[in-house]
Amino acid sequence: MTETGKARITGLYHVGLHAKNPTQMAAFYRDVIGMQIVSNVDHPIARMIFLSSRPHEEAHELVFTSNPELAHVAFKVETLADLRAFYQQIVEMGLPIKTAYNHGASLAFYFHDPEGNLIEIYWPTNLASRQPDSYPIDLSLSETTLREIIADHAAQAEAVQPETNPI
């Protein structure tokens, strides 16, 4: 939070781009740009490939998706309180929240800017999680309850090791 009590963004942290051929695009960014493919997912809603130039710091910085509706720009906040404050601000402004998710590695919500571009605001939980881990979540819940949900998710994730699908 800032001195004025407003939540603040710590920066632009990843971009989701539509790609007709996500595999080809990911290979290009791996081979030419030097990014690492950190997850490769065939999901019912889209083929998605996640890349990072610093996977130990950021779960992903670039996502290629076969579904154009999932193209987005993601901004990170420093605290769970900041995420909840942004969520409340967007609701109070009357902007529709498209969805809110527990991604395991983060809690996030999505909404559109005036031109229809999808924006994600997220807070990293610092849990390792395979993208696109997505469970709907109510960000109007108390911080204590949200932290309990995160802890429960982490315990369940430890019990089940997801299969990876590298290129």
Tens of pLDDT, residues 11-47? 888 999 999 999 999 999 999 999 999 999 898 889 9
DSSP classification of residue 116: S
Q: What is the largest CA-CA distance in the chain?
A: 47
In-domain check, residue 3? no
Residues facing residue 72 across a β-bridge: 16, 118
CATH number at residue 144: 3.10.180.10
- Please, which residues have CB within 8 angstroms of residue 13's CB and are 6 or more apart in sequence? 58, 61, 74, 75, 76, 122
**What is the residue range of 118's domain?**
9-159
Whether pLDDT at 3 is above 70: no
> Which residues on neighbouring strands pair with residue 57, listed in sequence order?
none
Number of domains the chain contains = 1
Q: Poorest-confidence range of 1-10, 54-63, 101-110, 155-164? A: 155-164
List Cα–Cα distances, 121 to 46, 111, 157, 162, in angstroms.
Answer: 21, 9, 23, 25
